[in-house]
Structure 1
Amino acid sequence: MSDAEQTREKILAVAADEIHLHGFQATGLSTIINRCGISKGALYYHFTNKLELGYAVFEEKYIPIFLDTWQPALSHDDPIEGLCDFFMSMCDAMVCSEAVCGCPLNNLCEEMANVDEGFRLRILTMQEKLNELMVESFGRVKNDLRDNITFTQVAYFIVATFYGATTLCKGSRNKSLFQQVMLELCVYIRALRK
């Protein structure tokens, strides 16, 4: 990797961290420049403005992590149990900073979807991609599931409940509340079976 590529990666990593901690709008380019130990010119060589940097963080840092996080559950031979295992592992793995700061991607979605059309469209594309992955995984086991299920609606409900629980956890700073919602979500998901 060239020096320029390394600098770009460092900028993205620091920006992703700052956006997670403080939100996109409150994150200053000067903070990113200082943390990276680079000049303004180096930052502007890679990103013409803060919005372009924000889009790159969303597309190159947050979305791959987001989809990679869900993929093992959805690739599982039994996506119902795969999802429940995933949700329970999230309960176990959640650290205090996540309970306080929330999910980086969810935070950015909540902050920017109504502020910037570019973010809104990127968020929509990401949500549609996750929905497609969930529908495909349910389709693989459709013979084991109830006949009256609309997979697209179920997938959106599961994701909305999961991210709603992360927001609830962040607002209350109560990890056990997240765990309770995840347990109830697993009851719902398992009830999709015949």
Structure 2
Amino acid sequence: MAMIPSAKPGEDKNPLETRRLLLEAAAREIHMHGFQAASLSRILSETGVTKGALYYHFPSKLDLGYAVVDEYFGPTLHHAWIDPLQQPDTDPVQALIEVIRKTGNRMTIAELSLGCPVNNLALEMSPVDAGFRERLEQLLDEWRAAIAAALERGRDFGSVSPAVDVNSVAAFIVASLEGCVGMAKNAQSRKLLVACGKGLIDYLQSLRSRG
């Protein structure tokens, strides 16, 4: 197989911007088509980046996929779901409820039809590639750990019942959120998403301390 040339000097005048454009386009492509069906040609067409510049930043399609998880999907999940729980004086139950409501209200039917990109990749790639599996598990573990830590603080402050097993509950919450989106994606139904979200919110309310 012929070697794909690296970017020529001066071809990639703004490397950081080029990398950002490629990651964003690749994230959209992977979210829409999955990793295995993702097309580098479509990514190059969307960004206007040359093939040489692409391979300068990402030596292979697999490297690009890993970077999308590490540098795009990961930070996006942190911003939306983990950062709101890390304020020390935040009521964790209310913070989770607000994030669920905000995310559900913001999600369009087009976004819903694509599902959660992290869960999509986990289902597609974890059985076939250790690199994806390890990255996605680390990301999901960080999400579970953030919820567990927030609930632990809530127990210490007295807003969360002392009977709550924070690690089990955190795993259940993440699984429930992914399940809600997955079912609504399959049904193409915002109504189902809202109903599932309401059930999860009712469950979260049951975690509050009654003292």
User: TM class, shorter-chain normalised?
Assistant: over 0.9
Q: Which amino acid aligns with 1:174?
A: S
Q: Return the offset for 1:148.
A: 2.5
Q: Return the offset for 1:11.
A: 0.8
The equivalent residue for 2:79 is 68
State the distance in 2 between where 1:51 and 1:22 align: 15
Q: Does 1:32 align with 2:43?
A: yes
Aligned Cα root-mean-square deviation (Å): 1.6
Counterpart of 2:15 in 1: which secondary structure? helix
**Contact 2:58/2:64 (CA < 8 Å) preserved in 1?**
yes
1:155-166 equivalences under 5 Å are 155-166=170-181
Q: Does 1:173 align with 2:188?
A: yes
The equivalent residue for 1:117 is 130
How does the TM-score come out when normalised to structure 1?
Answer: 0.94
1:139-154 equivalences under 5 Å are 139-142=152-155, 143-154=158-169
Q: Which amino acid aligns with 1:100?
A: S
Q: Does 1:57 align with 2:57?
A: no
The equivalent residue for 1:98 is 111
Number of aligned residue pairs: 194
Q: Which amino acid aligns with 1:136?
A: A
Counterpart of 1:144 in 2: which secondary structure? coil
**Contact 1:74/1:137 (CA < 8 Å) preserved in 2?**
yes
State the distance in 2 between where 1:46 and 1:70 align: 29
How does the TM-score come out when normalised to structure 2?
Answer: 0.87
**Contact 1:19/1:27 (CA < 8 Å) preserved in 2?**
yes
Map Cα deviations across residues 121-143 of structure 1 (whole Å, 9 max, x no partner). Answer: 00111111112211111111103
State the distance in 2 between where 1:47 and 1:67 align: 24
Gaps of 5+ in 1: none
Query: Identity percentage over the alignment?
Result: 36
Counterpart of 2:149 in 1: which secondary structure? helix
The equivalent residue for 1:45 is 56
The answer to which structure has the higher helix fraction is 1
Map Cα deviations across residues 48-93 of structure 1 (whole Å, 9 max, x no partner). Answer: 1000000001100000000110135413621101111111122211
| The 10-residue stretch of structure 1 (141-150 or 20-29) with the greater mean CA deviation from structure 2 | 141-150
Q: Does 1:81 align with 2:94?
A: yes
Q: Which amino acid aligns with 2:37?
A: A
State the distance in 2 between where 1:73 and 1:144 align: 17
Q: Which runs of 4+ in 1 moved over 4 A?
A: none
Gaps of 5+ in 2: 1-12
Structure with higher Rg: it is 2
The equivalent residue for 2:120 is 107
Q: Return the offset for 1:190.
A: 0.9
**Contact 2:82/2:147 (CA < 8 Å) preserved in 1?**
no
| The 10-residue stretch of structure 1 (145-154 or 10-19) with the greater mean CA deviation from structure 2 | 145-154
